[in-house]
């Protein structure tokens, strides 16, 4: 009986907290929701909205318990807008730093498909919601699955929760410094570096096939090297994919854990 009353009181306290600080709960949820929804694995086609919003709300309640609660009377309309804009900015920054790995794999697949002449075969990716090539779809799905299996969601949740220690919800974000802009530029450079690193084995093999086909066309012009080279390049791409599958998985896991360890330092320098 006593336990039931205690549970009822705890539930009443939670509902009272939600009713009295609804805007604060929404503010705490914003950073988490934006960071997670930047990733394709939290799309509407994969995770139902009810489940997704419940996860965001649960994490937001934890942050409210840990950090001071905003006093609504002391924050005007302009202050709330600045706070929400700050939460969106931080969520986008965290989402970009983690989404780079997933986007790089899909972009590398599209580069390879362009080289082998398969970019015309566009399909709709239900995770990202846009058109992509066949190999881009495969590598993108592979990156998403490995991201979940390798503990990427735990790393994302941990970094997002720890970011509240750097920038609590009741503090307005200061202006971005020049060093912060340079850090964003370095992350986009890291994206292209990773994309080229993934696509390089495929592109080198395709280039060698084009070179051989060019020599054949030079001395045996009766052969239709265009159709022959397309078939050879598709077979070579599949063979390279089978040979490099393990290396691609190891690369994603290593880069993910290595980059996430320095992510908080990157976010701290963003506004230093």
* Confidence check: pLDDT of 110 > 70: yes
On the question of pLDDT at 1 being above 50, the answer is no
| pLDDT tops 60 at residue 188 | yes
Q: Please return the burial class of 220, using the count of CB atoms within 10 Å of its CB with bins 0-12, 13-18 and 19+.
A: exposed
| CA angle at 87 for the pair 191 and 271, rounded to the nearest 5° | 65
Distance CA 50, CA 97 (A): 26
Please tell me which of 137-141, 186-190, 200-204, 226-230 the model is most confident about, judged by mean pLDDT.
Answer: 200-204
The DSSP line for 149-212 is HTTHHHHHHHHHHHHHHHS-TTS---PPPHHHHHHHHHHHHHHHHHHHHHHHHHHHHHHHHHHH
- Predicted pLDDT of residue 140: 85
For residue 153 the two structure tokens come to 């969601």
Average pLDDT for the chain? 78
3-state secondary structure of 132: strand
On the question of pLDDT at 9 being above 50, the answer is no
pLDDT at 69 over 70: no
More confident residue, 97 or 173: 97
The whole-number pLDDT of residue 73 equals 55
185 versus 57: the higher-pLDDT residue is 57
**pLDDT at residue 113, rounded to an integer:** 84
Which whole number is the average pLDDT over 50-79? 74
The yes-or-no verdict on residue 5 having pLDDT over 50 is: no
Which of 17-26, 145-154, 189-198 is predicted with the least confidence, judged by mean pLDDT? 17-26
Note the pLDDT of residue 126: 66
Contacts of 53 (CB under 8 A, 6+ apart): 33
Mean predicted confidence (pLDDT) in 98-109: 88
Percent of the chain past pLDDT 70, that is, above it, reads 76
Strand runs labelled E in the chain: 123-124, 131-132
Could you tell me which residue, 103 or 118, shows the higher pLDDT?
Answer: 103
- pLDDT of amino acid 74: 66
Q: How far apart (Å, rounded) are the C-alpha atoms in residues 90 and 30?
A: 10
**Does residue 95 have a pLDDT over 80?**
yes
- Using the predicted structure, report yes or no on whether residue 37 has a pLDDT greater than 50: yes
Tokens of 201: 């084995």
Q: Is residue 49 scored above 70 in pLDDT?
A: yes
pLDDT, residue 4, reads 46
> Which one is predicted more confidently, 71 or 264?
264
């Amino acid at each position: 009986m006593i336990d039931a009353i205690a549970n009822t009181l705890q539930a009443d306290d939670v509902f009272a907290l939600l009713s009295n600080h609804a805007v604060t709960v929404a503010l705490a949820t914003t950073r988490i929701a934006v960071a997670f929804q930047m990733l394709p694995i939290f799309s509407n086609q994969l995770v139902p909205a009810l489940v997704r919003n419940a996860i965001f709300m649960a994490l937001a309640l934890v942050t409210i318990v840990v950090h001071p609660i905003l006093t609504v009377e002391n924050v005007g309309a302009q202050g709330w807008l600045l706070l929400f804009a700050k939460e969106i900015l931080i969520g986008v920054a965290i989402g970009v730093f983690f989404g780079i790995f997933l986007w790089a794999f899909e972009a590398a697949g599209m580069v390879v498909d362009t080289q082998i002449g398969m970019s015309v075969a566009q399909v709709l990716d239900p995770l990202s919601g846009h058109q992509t090539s066949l190999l881009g779809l495969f590598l993108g799905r592979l990156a998403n699955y490995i991201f979940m299996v390798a503990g990427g969601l735990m790393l994302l949740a941990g970094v997002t929760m720890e970011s509240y220690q750097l920038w609590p919800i009741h503090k307005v974000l200061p202006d971005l410094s020049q060093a912060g802009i340079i850090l964003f530029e370095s992350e986009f450079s890291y994206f292209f570096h990773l994309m080229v690193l993934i696509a390089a084995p495929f592109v080198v093999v395709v280039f060698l096939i084009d070179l051989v086909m060019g020599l054949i066309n030079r001395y045996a012009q009766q052969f239709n090297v265009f159709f022959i080279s397309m078939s050879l390049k598709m077979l070579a791409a599949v063979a390279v994919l089978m040979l490099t599958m393990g290396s691609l998985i190891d690369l994603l896991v290593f880069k993910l854990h290595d980059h996430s360890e320095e992510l908080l330092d990157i976010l701290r320098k963003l506004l230093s």
